[in-house]
Every structure is written in C-alpha cells, then in structure tokens.
Structure 1
C-alpha cells in the first residue's frame, strides 16, 4: 500500500463572520485549511484542454496557461504517481483509444417517474408558436461548430500510457468509484463555462460528494468587451466557486505539496 500523502492548504471563502464581527460581505474573507490527502485517493482532472478554440485572444491565453502552468502540474503529478484523468468532452473523448466507455452518453438520465412533461417540446426547441423566443442564430455558427469539427487534445496534454479519458460526469464518477478516488484537482478551460457547466465540472462532481479543488492559475475565463481587461468573469467565477463548496490552490502550492516519487 502506498502511504504517501499530498500536503496542501486549500482555500475557500467564508460566508459568515466570527462572533462580534459585523455580518456583511466586506468581512467575508478567505480561509486556508491544512490537509493531508492519501495519494491514492486523489486525481488530476484535465478539463477541455484542447488544441484550439474559437477566439484568437482566448486561444493565446489558453495556450500560455497550458504551457506555463498546466504542463508543469501534469509532469509533477506523473512523477509523483497521481492518477491523471482527461475530460475533453464529446465527441473528442470517444475518438481516443483510452476512453473508458463506462456509460452510453447518448442516453439521457431518466427523470423522476412522476416528473411532469413540461415545458412543452415546442417551447424547449423554440419552434412553432414559441419561435419568437429563440436566440438568433449566429451568422458564423456553422463555421464555428465544434461538434461537427471537434477539437483535439492540446499536443502537450495528450494522454500518456493508460491515463483514462472520460466524456461525461457519470463516467468520471464510476471511474473514481473503481479507483477509490475521493479528491479531484482540476485544471483546464474555461472557468465560467465547462469548469462549471459540464457534467464532470466542479459543481457537478461536488454534488456527487467529492472534494473538488481548482488550481486557479491553471484556467482561463470567457470574457466579453466589458470584462476582458480585468478578467472579471474568471475572477468572479473563482469567487463564486470558493463560496459554494469548492476549494482553490495555485499550481505552485499544489506541486509543492506533492510527495516524492515512489521508490523504484
């Protein structure tokens, strides 16, 4: 049995204050905990670390973060023997030889047996009498269709050896159950999108009951003309996660907490 441990100080944001301190948001501050995680109970999850994206400025920043931050984390995890899991989304996952194939991703999760069939299907599709509520189709939608033309892995973050590849959250959950994983450390893109919205993202896996930790310098935001200068979208999303059950670290803090490689 491997008795080595990962020693880290994960950060979160308190929503309450100490007795005697005024209960207002300006007094809600960061807290760091002291943890030792058995190395066999941890995994690094690489979310949507692709070889391309739609926006030129986003792609440049993604590539910089990948090369300068994610690659060193990945290398350190491989040296230490931390399980590395790749989560590139569909249909990229199913094209990879290491895809674990634990669930049929084409089958939606069944609803509650007595759940009402509502809203109507025409409303869901925004057709017929509800077409006026549809969001206008982007004129470059076909050109930018990432399902018809799916991205691949970033060349520096491809699976190595038998590193598993998953496509949906239930697949990640079943893989973790098989491997005894309880703590998930996340890197990848993008914090306000796939990191929070995918079925294998931080909030979804937190709801399963896992410890979820974001390496906050190993991601990027989905910015707009208003938020881009200060990366407000990314920073706001990290603040949201830290207040809702998710923890964060920097890449350096995580690497420093990894144990020495196992004795050969």
Structure 2
C-alpha cells in the first residue's frame, strides 16, 4: 500500500541566522509503503454533540464542534466505507461516559486486555484544593457553561457516522488498544477524530499512550480538527501545530484523497472479520 506522506524536516538549524530554526527544511512529501496487515484506522472520540439548541453552553466552550460535525458528515462516510472494504481493521477509542460496554467490540477488548492498572493518585493538600477551585471558577469551560457541558456528557454517544459495526474493537484506554493491536498484529495506528491536539494526543488510548506501547501514530489531515483559541481559530493555527507534532514525534501525516486511493488498490479479504 503505497501513498504520499508528509514529514517535517526539523533540521538543520542555521546558527548564522538571527532565528536559527528558519534554516529547517520544513514540510517534505515522501512516498511511503504501509503494510496493510499491520495498520489500523483508529476513530477516537467521534461523538454526537447534540443539536445546537440542546447544549449551547457546551458549544460556547468547545468552538470546534461545528468543524467536527462537518468532518463527520463529509469525510467519515467515505473514509469508513473504504476502510471497512479493505484489510485494515477499524478500532474505536471511547471515553466520557459508558455508552459502549454493551457492544461486542468493547467486551472483546476487555477480555484481551484484562484489568487496566490503576495509578495511585498523589494526596491533595489545602493549597492544591484552593488552586483547583480557582481553576474551576475562572478557567474553561466557564461556570455558566458547566451545566450544559455536564448534560451533554451525560447523554454522550457515538456520532451516527462513527458508530462501530459488528465486533470492531472498542478501547477505553491504552491498555485495551494495545491488546487489540497485539491481537491483530498491528503496529501502525492512523488516528481520526477529535481533537488532534487534545484527546488524540493526550487522552487514554491517544498517541502518547500508544507510542509508549511501540506503535507508530499517524493521522489524516482532513479527518480531524483541533482545539483552537481566540488567537488561533481564524487560521486554525493549533491544528497546523498539532500536525507538525505528529510528523516530528509520532508518525506521518496523510492526505485523505491519497489514503482513499491507496485503499482502493488493496484486495478485499473474502469474509474478513475482526479477531
């Protein structure tokens, strides 16, 4: 499975320049070969966020929801259809609340992984508690939005376009996703979903977790978006920064059209099902 991929040439800094990093080579396009038997598409936190009028406070705090909904409507249907017609397994990473444990793919992941080790939390002290109260009062998502955010998460579910089919693997953390990878002999995960610089990077089952398990972690640029702020949202600068981070630290950045074209070159496995 051959296709173009983007990497970032983070060398050589030109020490003669006022800004040495301006000597870096920057974005490069390379032809790469993927092993379909060892590659999976990972759909992470592709949620149904409700209609705009249902949880307005959630949308006031999470400005990328409209971009995610457009991607779910326009990108996910052809992408998932193509992946499911190919030898690549489709995995799902979930979170937020339990809307998945009744599904066979979640039960299979739990059987494969066993119990997830629980980290012992450090003890809080009065100063810690006061700082957390300060963050709660003045930081995101805003006190006046918290009721809507909580209500949205209370009914969280897969977006219709991202709902698992059959027994596609469903992982709630890195331990379960790594177990699915071992069962399928997968070592390269191509992430799609929301949001690239937040959950896909840092949440359980995200790239930081899976790099520690030895996986390459790549993404499809058109199948994700990022958490933006007032200064970055117009140009989606945080998404550009997150794509750079993927290319430098975790894997490759692929284009949607190139990925779909490469999938079409693969034979469909007769009667292929997940393990």
Whole-angstrom CA distance in 1 between matches of 2:153 and 2:226: 24
Q: How far off its partner does 1:155 sit? A: 0.6
Q: Does 1:27 align with 2:23?
A: yes
Match of 1:16 among 11, 14, 19: 11
Q: Does 1:231 align with 2:226?
A: no
**What secondary structure, in the 3-state scheme, does the structure 1 residue paired with 2:125 have?**
helix
Change (3 A) 1:19 1:188: same
Deviations 1:9-63 (A, max 9, x none): 3221121139999793223212333332221111000010111173175322111
Change (3 A) 1:139 1:95: farther
- Given that 1:8 and 1:254 are in contact with CA atoms closer than 8 Å, whether structure 2 keeps it comes out as yes
Structure with the higher helix share, 1 or 2: 2
Deviations 1:61-102 (A, max 9, x none): 111112222221111111112100011224233353421223
User: What are the ranges of 5 or more consecutive residues in structure 1 without an aligned counterpart?
Assistant: 1-5, 111-116
Match of 1:121 among 121, 124, 128: 124
**What secondary structure, in the 3-state scheme, does the structure 1 residue paired with 2:41 have?**
strand
- Residue of structure 2 equivalent to 1:136: 136
Match of 1:55 among 59, 74, 77: 59
- Given that 1:93 and 1:167 are in contact with CA atoms closer than 8 Å, whether structure 2 keeps it comes out as no
| TM-score, normalised relative to structure 2 | 0.79
- Given that 1:206 and 1:246 are in contact with CA atoms closer than 8 Å, whether structure 2 keeps it comes out as no
Q: How far off its partner does 1:252 sit? A: 0.9
Root-mean-square deviation (Å): 2.8
Deviations 1:204-253 (A, max 9, x none): 21232211111011111112222211112212221222222331111111
Match of 2:39 among 35, 38, 42: 42
Q: Does 1:183 align with 2:179?
A: no
Whole-angstrom CA distance in 2 between matches of 1:167 and 1:204: 12
Q: How far off its partner does 1:103 sit? A: 4.0
Change (3 A) 1:230 1:260: same
- Residue of structure 2 equivalent to 1:66: 72
